[in-house]
DNA sequence: TTACCCCCATAAACGCCGTTCACTATCGCA
DNA sequence: TGCGATAGTGAACGGCGTTTATGGGGGTAA
């Protein structure tokens, strides 16, 4: 019931917190995750390292909050692309995949923090704080717009899928966590499956490219990506681009 | 032109090298990549840290050699599964994908080292030593059996693909690195494309599962994986399992 | 057998790192 | 005006990778 005014102290505090994360991010982009250090952040801000403990209980906590911010930033970028793509769900999906790849290539270190090797400390903290890793909110929140768009497409013109009886047997029983977040299945199991399959396919392409695991085969991944996206879209009954 | 006998000194040296890597790996499996430290290895071996510099120029170099060993170990596991699967290329491919997933789930830390976030130091060294990352031998060597099996399948009964003229335009010109390693294209471009597409799809599934990026949606990834493998195989004209 | 040299290993030190603790100054509020 | 919460400091601990100088020990050649 306190007033809405953030009481100066809190404003300063919030400003320091964002400045801390900004400097951490600069270190992240230049030197990768292991380059983020409390002492370096403090140096860059003209502080001493222990002072940061007034704002975060540990370096891992700071990195975790940074990761959440980045997750959200990527989500917004994808949603923006979606809304700029018109009303057709197919066009929206194509725009979103392109936005996802573009952002990831432009921010490889951030991508690595969010989608790569789980950082040991992060997961421990995340488990307690219900944050961005294993049981995390962020992953589900990020997947939501993709899922939503696919659901629209499905409602508009159902695409052919693997027959449900086949899926219902083995796949549906594993959907507990999914149902926990998105409510009881308004969506048929086939659509959920199609969503997860497409999402892992997109992730595989982008992760491989960002991590450099395709350098040995291909000089430019763009054509591979474009053709693959077109394929997925076509399998969803979409029109050619 | 020296004798084949490894001259005692060299035998002891080689033994120490493998012991170093063994201890490094133990640290890797228990605490992830950042748990590998020279001092910890030295402690576990009853040595002092600087002694390790007689065998590796830096910690990064040790980790790199370890990564190469692990890459090779995974390759052997996949090849074993292939040879145990009979003569049918389709059965071989299915066995190989299962072996890949099983190994990765059983060795998450190793998987992270090889297929996850590139470790900063590794890449720098690898660029100079033509090792396992970006331009690396290991990635190509690992992909080879998959490619070979797919080529056999293709030779035996060609599967339908995206029409070559479409691919030749955009995709073929990017295949420089691939040709550099596998010679001039005895294989049609469509097959190479199909191989890379299937490989990224497999990678996406396994990486997502190992990194825990599917916990929010699914309690057990197995059905998702099984159905997806069946799909890929079917798209390759394979028989149902 | 003796002398030499190379190889292995060590101890000490440097400069990083995260984190803790005792302490101080300052700012906001009553 | 004074009090208390709050931000910040400096010193310290233990751990890290790495360098340097220094000591032993075994293989090889004289």
Whether the per-residue pLDDT at B241 is higher than 50: the answer is: no
Provide, as residue numbers in chain B, all residues whose Cβ is less than 8 Å from the Cβ of A140: 216-217
B54 touches strand C (CB under 7 A): yes
B215 touches strand C (CB under 7 A): no
Confidence of residue A167 (pLDDT cuts 50, 70, 90): confident
Q: Which residue has the tokens 């911010």?
A: A69
Task: Name which residue leads in pLDDT, B186 or A226.
Answer: A226
B117 contact partners, CB below 8 Å, separation of at least 6: A32, A33, A112, A116, A117, A211
Provide, as residue numbers in chain B, all residues whose Cβ is less than 8 Å from the Cβ of A211: 115-118
Whether the per-residue pLDDT at A42 is higher than 70: the answer is: yes
User: Dihedral of CA A232/B165/A100/A85: which sign?
Assistant: negative
8 Å CB contact of A227 and B170: yes
Residue B111 vs residues A117, A172, B208: alpha-carbon distances, Å:
9, 28, 11
The pLDDT assigned to B217 comes to: 92
Out of A116-130, B76-90, B151-165, least confident range: A116-130
The pLDDT assigned to A181 comes to: 83
Mean pLDDT of B231-241: 77
8 Å CB contact of A216 and B178: yes
Instruction: With beta carbons less than 8 A apart as the criterion, state whether A149 and A202 touch.
Output: no
Confidence of residue B183 (pLDDT cuts 50, 70, 90): confident
Quickly count helices (H) and strands (E) in chain A: 11, 0
Mean pLDDT of B154-166: 81
Mean pLDDT of B104-111: 97
Q: Which residue has the tokens 């576990």?
A: B44
Mean pLDDT of A12-23: 96
8 Å CB contact of A212 and B118: yes
Q: For chain B, what percent of residues have pLDDT higher than 90? A: 67
CA distance B232 to B97: 11
Instruction: With beta carbons less than 8 A apart as the criterion, state whether B61 and B48 touch.
Output: no
Instruction: With beta carbons less than 8 A apart as the criterion, state whether A150 and A194 touch.
Output: yes
Give the burial class of A12: count Cβ atoms within 10 A of its Cβ; 0-12 exposed, 13-18 middle, 19 or more buried: exposed
**Tokens standing for residue B1:** 């032109």
Give the burial class of A186: count Cβ atoms within 10 A of its Cβ; 0-12 exposed, 13-18 middle, 19 or more buried: exposed
Mean pLDDT of B107-114: 95
Name residues 61-90 of chain A within 8 A of B (Cβ): none
Provide, as residue numbers in chain A, all residues whose Cβ is less than 8 Å from the Cβ of B136: 215-216
CA distance A77 to A75: 5
- Comparing every residue's Cα with the C1' atom of nucleotide D8, the nearest one is A51
Q: Could you tell me the domains of chain A? A: 1-56 (1.10.10), 59-235 (1.10.357.10)
The mean pLDDT of chain B is: 88
**For the residues of B114-156, what is the DSSP string, one character each?**
HHSS--HHHHHHHHHHT-SSTT-HHHHHHHHHHHHHHHHHHHH
Instruction: With beta carbons less than 8 A apart as the criterion, state whether A233 and B173 touch.
Output: no
Out of A121-125, A144-148, B28-32, least confident range: A121-125
| Closest B-chain CA to A218 | B175
Confidence of residue B134 (pLDDT cuts 50, 70, 90): very low
The pLDDT assigned to A220 comes to: 96
Out of B43-57, B74-88, B175-189, least confident range: B175-189
**Please, what's the largest Cα pairwise distance for chain B?**
63
Provide, as residue numbers in chain B, all residues whose Cβ is less than 8 Å from the Cβ of A143: 216-217
CA–C1' gap, B32 and D14, in angstroms? 21
Q: For chain A, what percent of residues have pLDDT higher than 70? A: 88
Residue A175 φ then ψ, to 5°: -85, 15
Residue A128 vs residues A58, A65, A135, B103: alpha-carbon distances, Å:
14, 14, 10, 29
Closest to A60 in 3D by CA, of A14, A108, A141, A129 = A129
Mean pLDDT of B136-154: 87
Confidence of residue B122 (pLDDT cuts 50, 70, 90): low
Q: For chain B, what percent of residues have pLDDT higher than 70? A: 87
The pLDDT assigned to B157 comes to: 87
Residues 54-113 of A with CB under 7 A from strand C: 58-60
Mean pLDDT of B76-105: 97
DSSP one-letter code for A239: P
Whether the per-residue pLDDT at A35 is higher than 90: the answer is: yes
CA distance B202 to A108: 21
Instruction: With beta carbons less than 8 A apart as the criterion, state whether B202 and A205 touch.
Output: no
């Amino acid at each position: 019931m306190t007033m809405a005014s953030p009481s100066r102290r809190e404003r300063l505090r919030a400003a320091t917190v964002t400045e801390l994360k900004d400097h951490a991010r600069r270190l992240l982009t230049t030197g990768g995750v292991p380059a983020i250090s409390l002492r370096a952040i403090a140096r860059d801000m003209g502080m001493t390292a222990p002072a940061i403990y007034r704002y975060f209980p540990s370096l891992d906590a700071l990195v975790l909050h940074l990761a959440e911010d980045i997750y959200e930033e990527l989500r917004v970028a994808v949603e923006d692309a979606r809304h700029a793509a018109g009303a057709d769900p197919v066009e929206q999906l194509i725009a979103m995949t392109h936005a996802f790849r573009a952002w990831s290539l432009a921010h490889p270190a951030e991508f690595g923090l969010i989608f790569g090797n789980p950082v040991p400390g992060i997961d421990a903290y995340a488990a307690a704080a219900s944050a961005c890793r294993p049981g995390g909110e962020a992953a589900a929140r990020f997947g939501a717009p993709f899922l939503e768009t696919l659901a629209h497409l499905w409602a508009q013109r159902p695409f052919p899928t693997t027959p449900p009886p086949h899926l219902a047997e083995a796949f549906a029983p594993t959907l507990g966590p999914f149902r926990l977040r998105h409510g009881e299945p308004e969506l048929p199991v086939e659509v959920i499956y199609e969503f997860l399959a497409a999402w892992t396919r997109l992730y595989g392409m982008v992760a491989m490219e960002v991590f450099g695991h395709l350098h040995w085969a291909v000089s430019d991944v763009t054509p591979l990506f474009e053709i693959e996206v077109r394929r997925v879209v076509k399998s969803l009954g979409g029109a050619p681009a």
